[in-house]
Chain A
Amino acid sequence: MNIQIRPILVALRRHKAGTLLIALQIALTLAIVCNALFIIRQRLANLSEPSGVDESSVFVIRNQWAADWPTAQVDTQVKADMLALRQLPAVRDATPASGYPLKGGGWDNYISMTPDQTKPTTDAAVYTGDEHFIDTLGAKLIVGRNFRPEEVMVMGTQQAITPPVVIVTKALADKLFPGGNALGKSFYAMGTTPSTIIGIVDPLQRQGVDRWANAYAGQALIWPIRAAFSGGLFYVVRAKPGQLAEAMREAPKALIAQSHMRIIDPKDGVLDYATIRHMVYDSDRGMAILMGIICVVLLAITAAGIVGLTSFWVGQRRRQIGVRRALGAKKRDILAYFLTENFLISTAGVALGAVLAIAFNLWTKTRFEMSQMSMTYVGVGVIVLLLLGQGAVLAPALRASRVSPVEATRSV
């Protein structure tokens, strides 16, 4: 094989254009495929993050009021609604909430350790709910205790209320108290008074999955608050195992029967968690699919391009191949010639492609706040493209190896 490289290089010099085109195509394909794989991997990682919610039996009702009620009246209605929901045979538990995991967007507060701190320590998603919140979501309380009914406070529209007790996620507890033992410690969440940690849940995802919040992933706090907003609020409901569909059918009916003065959107007023997850990760899944399609089509087109150009070369060189065969070259040698030729071109292509791939990643990193691509992707891409090149060239190379020595005597 070593002996063959020189004649191949000499021959390639006579096909500069074709050689360059194949190398360039391989380089560009590598650059795009590496980055596409990287994006797919990142997006899929997002998709499979656990929310901490018992997703198979929890659903959410977006309840709006049809009247302009004062806080006390809203709260009376919320309590009546909860009673109605919890009495349903298919329902295990229910809670009034200002938001829920994976809702998108949402309520965030800065967290500080001292009352006069100007730069906040970190940021947490804020959930409000009564003593049923944790059981309704199906979140796991790993340390401490749940809220007691008497700890639950009522909050009207735009009231900045700070309950003295709070349950936090493990991610938030670890961030605030890296030494562990966060239970019983307190912090300030944009209030004038502190909140003391009475329990820790793990995991519980934030409401939004926006990229800016990646630095605060999993950091959330739950305040014992029964929201009594004049506009409306969310009712999170947990069905008994296997009774989700029935509970989702019965719950809105029970609420309307309780009071007509409400609006539950017939289209998207009641959402199960499969839909919620689907909606919030829409663009992640979309990007993964798009990149997947582009990768496959791209590899197919590149392979087809190699087949096309190599076939042309084989056709052009039939006489030379015939001469070589007549002079004693075996079929194997001809096959090896074309495989080696392609390997040389591909190697040059992937070398350039690796540089392009890294450059493209750096560009998206600065422009779209993407993270650094690990070199594994480039490595995998290089191997895939080298194999693809060898695979694509195999058919034309086999055809070349079957050229009969007699061709040498014909003028084509």
Chain B
Amino acid sequence: MFAYYFQLGLRSLRRNPALTALMVMAIGFGVAASMTTYSVFRAVSGNPIPDKSAQLFVPKVDNWGPQQNLKDNEPPDALDYVDAMALLRAHAAKRQTMLYQVMMSVMPGGDRELPLNANGYAVGSDFFAMFEVPFRYGGGWSAQDDDARAADVVISGELNRKVFAGENSVGRTINLGGHDYRVIGVTSHWNPQPRFYDLFDNNYFAGEPDIYMPFTRAMDLKMYPVGRNSCRGKLSYTTWEGFTQSNCVWISPWVELDSPAEVASYRNFLTNYAAEQQQAGRFNWAPNVRLRDVVQWLDYYQVVPPESSISLMVALGFFLICLVNTIGLLLAKFMRRAGEIGVRRALGATRSEIYAQYLIEAGTVGLAGGVLGLLLTALGVSGVGILFQPEIARLAQVDFSLMGLTLIVAIAATVLAAFYPAWRAAHVQPAWQLKAG
């Protein structure tokens, strides 16, 4: 019966071409607008590390005080040097890393005449295990290397391709900013989006970093951060020592805590640390600390650009209007055939059969709208580049799940919209129609 009703539905599409075209276009545009904006929204609001997001935490310590803090006495978004070193030494979590952005140049060599730019991070040895960095060759460095301030470096597959022609370069030497480093690992492509581990630097959707070097080594070399640096009060430092003793925050800390007990205990540790600082006279305010996991941290930073949220809301409203429009048009389309329904009912068709027939007919309209919507979505997603920053546009893609979702949403929404018109059709009075006809 389904196949027959489906055939009837297809045939009826051709019966009122203008009305049908109107409905198909309304559904097609509505679903395409929603899906295009949804693809962007999905790209920017996804959880970048779903399996571990509940175990990774950002601790915060208030080194500015209530007078200078962010809104609602929120402590600064990163650590200053003094607190970062203290937390590092205390090692109160199973795994932990400090990190900040560095930039170096790769000296000319081989057949390259001009130096290359290499962006990346100074990180601890735990970084790679904590964030599940995939390796093509080799691996990260050890905790001993951290302590030894080793001149080790992990490079991206892309930089490996540029400098070592993509060969296994583990153990080879690379000159960065005039210093020799030993390549200890080459990553496979790894660029979680948004870059949850470094929200402080505001490059949520940046390209893949080129290098990772030991944090301790960067401290030894007095490498200034190239990312953000946020300070309060009066500043007068002119040297590395002055800078590291200032209240400027620039180091992002991360800890891995596996159980609620560990979380509670780390929170205690933070509070105690702040209390010690208060007793020592460094802070003259009560302990004010925070501990947020990945999802809370993304939420706190409002990573999803307001553009994509607003356009998603507008697109949903747009889709809703298209559906209201479809209800009206389906009503017109079905009721136009009241006479025909009367005949069928008089010949013995039950109400539920009429109901089924018209719902299936609506489904075919939805299918046609979905196919149009699919084409328009593909067009829309490729046009996203003019609406959003290229970094975000790059992330929005048409994949099988989006295609499936487009068709399902189009059909489901149209069938849903058809409930009332089909109900009206099923309640046509056969006797009245036959008499009038």
Interface on A for B, CB 8 Å cutoff? 17-18, 21-22, 24-25, 28-29, 31-32, 35-36, 39, 64-68, 105, 110, 115, 118-119, 156-162, 188, 190-192, 211, 230-231, 260-263, 265, 282-283, 285-287, 289-291, 294, 297-298, 301-302, 304-305, 308-309, 311-312, 315-316, 360, 364, 367-369, 411
Q: Which A residues lie within 8 Å of B432 (CB)?
A: none
Q: Which A residues lie within 8 Å of B133 (CB)?
A: none
Q: Which B residues lie within 8 Å of A283 (CB)?
A: 305, 307, 387-389
Given A105-B202, A160-B236, A282-B389: A18 in contact with B331 (beta carbons within 8 A): yes
Write the chain A residue with the least CB distance to B326.
A305
Q: How far is the CB of B35 from chain A (nearest CB, A)?
A: 14
Closest 4 CB pairs of A and B: A286-B387, A66-B115, A312-B332, A160-B235
The yes or no answer to B68 lying at the interface (CB within 8 A) is: yes
Q: How far is the CB of A29 from chain B (nearest CB, A)?
A: 6
Q: Which A residues lie within 8 Å of B349 (CB)?
A: none
Write the chain B residue with the least CB distance to A260.
B114
Q: Are B322 and A31 in contact (CB under 8 A)?
A: no
Q: Which A residues lie within 8 Å of B420 (CB)?
A: 17
Beyond the given A304-B22, A364-B310, please list 7 additional residue pairs across the A-B interface where CB-CB is below 8 A: A25-B325, A32-B318, A283-B305, A297-B33, A301-B322, A305-B325, A368-B310
Q: Which of B166-174, B226-234, B264-272, B358-366 binds A?
A: B226-234
Contacting residue for B332 out of A191, A211, A309, CB 8 A:
A309
Q: Which A residues lie within 8 Å of B25 (CB)?
A: 301, 304
How many Å lie between the Cα of A110 and that of B64 in the bound state? Answer: 15
Contacting residue for B328 out of A22, A159, A315, CB 8 A:
A22
Q: Are A308 and B226 in contact (CB under 8 A)?
A: no
Write the chain B residue with the least CB distance to A287.
B307
How many Å lie between the Cα of A263 and that of B310 in the bound state? Answer: 39
Contact bitstring B179-215, A, C-beta under 8 A = 1, else 0: 1000000000000000000000010000000000000
How many Å lie between the Cα of A283 and that of B388 in the bound state? Answer: 5
Contacting residue for A31 out of B305, B317, B325, B332, CB 8 A:
B317
The yes or no answer to B219 lying at the interface (CB within 8 A) is: no
Q: How far is the CB of B407 from chain A (nearest CB, A)?
A: 20
The yes or no answer to B335 lying at the interface (CB within 8 A) is: yes
Q: Which A residues lie within 8 Å of B246 (CB)?
A: 160
The yes or no answer to B259 lying at the interface (CB within 8 A) is: no
Interface size class of B (residues with CB under 8 A): 35 or more
Q: Are A21 and B331 in contact (CB under 8 A)?
A: yes
Q: How far is the CB of A280 from chain B (nearest CB, A)?
A: 10
The yes or no answer to B245 lying at the interface (CB within 8 A) is: no
Write the chain A residue with the least CB distance to B106.
A66
> Which residue of B177, B179, B225, B235 has the most chain A CB atoms within 10 A of its CB atom?
B235
Q: Which A residues lie within 8 Å of B240 (CB)?
A: 158
The yes or no answer to B352 lying at the interface (CB within 8 A) is: no
The yes or no answer to B45 lying at the interface (CB within 8 A) is: no
Q: Which A residues lie within 8 Å of B237 (CB)?
A: 158-160
How many Å lie between the Cα of A58 and that of B273 in the bound state? Answer: 52
Q: How far is the CB of A21 from chain B (nearest CB, A)?
A: 4
Given A22-B328, A68-B177: A301 in contact with B321 (beta carbons within 8 A): yes
Given A230-B224, A282-B389: A308 in contact with B329 (beta carbons within 8 A): yes
10 sample A-B contacts, Cβ–Cβ < 8 Å, listed by A number: A17-B424, A21-B328, A28-B324, A110-B232, A192-B235, A231-B226, A282-B389, A294-B33, A297-B29, A308-B19
Contact bitstring B320-342, A, C-beta under 8 A = 1, else 0: 11101101110110011000000
Contacting residue for B321 out of A29, A64, A119, A157, CB 8 A:
A29
Q: Are A287 and B310 in contact (CB under 8 A)?
A: yes
Q: Which A residues lie within 8 Å of B320 (CB)?
A: 28
How many Å lie between the Cα of A305 and that of B320 in the bound state? Answer: 13
Given A21-B324, A31-B317, A289-B387: A68 in contact with B178 (beta carbons within 8 A): yes
Contact bitstring B5-32, A, C-beta under 8 A = 1, else 0: 0000000000000010010011001100
Q: Which B residues lie within 8 Å of A160 (CB)?
A: 231, 235-238, 246
The yes or no answer to B86 lying at the interface (CB within 8 A) is: no
How many Å lie between the Cα of A211 and that of B302 in the bound state? Answer: 13
> Which residue of A162, A260, A305 has the most chain B CB atoms within 10 A of its CB atom?
A305
The yes or no answer to B67 lying at the interface (CB within 8 A) is: yes
How many Å lie between the Cα of A231 and that of B307 in the bound state? Answer: 33
How many Å lie between the Cα of A190 and that of B246 in the bound state? Answer: 13
How many Å lie between the Cα of A289 and that of B324 in the bound state? Answer: 25
Write the chain B residue with the least CB distance to A24.
B324
Write the chain A residue with the least CB distance to B115.
A66
The yes or no answer to B105 lying at the interface (CB within 8 A) is: yes
The yes or no answer to B309 lying at the interface (CB within 8 A) is: yes
Write the chain A residue with the least CB distance to B21.
A304
How many Å lie between the Cα of A371 and that of B115 in the bound state? Answer: 48
How many Å lie between the Cα of A364 and that of B312 in the bound state? Answer: 12
Q: Are A309 and B309 in contact (CB under 8 A)?
A: no
Q: How far is the CB of B313 from chain A (nearest CB, A)?
A: 8
> Which residue of A119, A157, A191, A289 has the most chain B CB atoms within 10 A of its CB atom?
A157
Q: How far is the CB of B340 from chain A (nearest CB, A)?
A: 14
Q: Are B68 and A118 in contact (CB under 8 A)?
A: yes
The yes or no answer to B436 lying at the interface (CB within 8 A) is: yes
Q: Which B residues lie within 8 Å of A312 (CB)?
A: 331-332, 335-336
Q: Which B residues lie within 8 Å of A286 (CB)?
A: 307, 386-388
Q: Are A298 and B386 in contact (CB under 8 A)?
A: no
Q: Which A residues lie within 8 Å of B114 (CB)?
A: 260, 263
Q: Are A301 and B310 in contact (CB under 8 A)?
A: no
Q: How far is the CB of B114 from chain A (nearest CB, A)?
A: 7
How many Å lie between the Cα of A349 and that of B353 in the bound state? Answer: 35
The yes or no answer to B343 lying at the interface (CB within 8 A) is: no
How many Å lie between the Cα of A65 and that of B324 in the bound state? Answer: 61
How many Å lie between the Cα of A188 and that of B235 in the bound state? Answer: 11
Write the chain A residue with the least CB distance to B30.
A301
Given A68-B178, A231-B103, A286-B307: A265 in contact with B117 (beta carbons within 8 A): yes
Q: Are B22 and A411 in contact (CB under 8 A)?
A: no
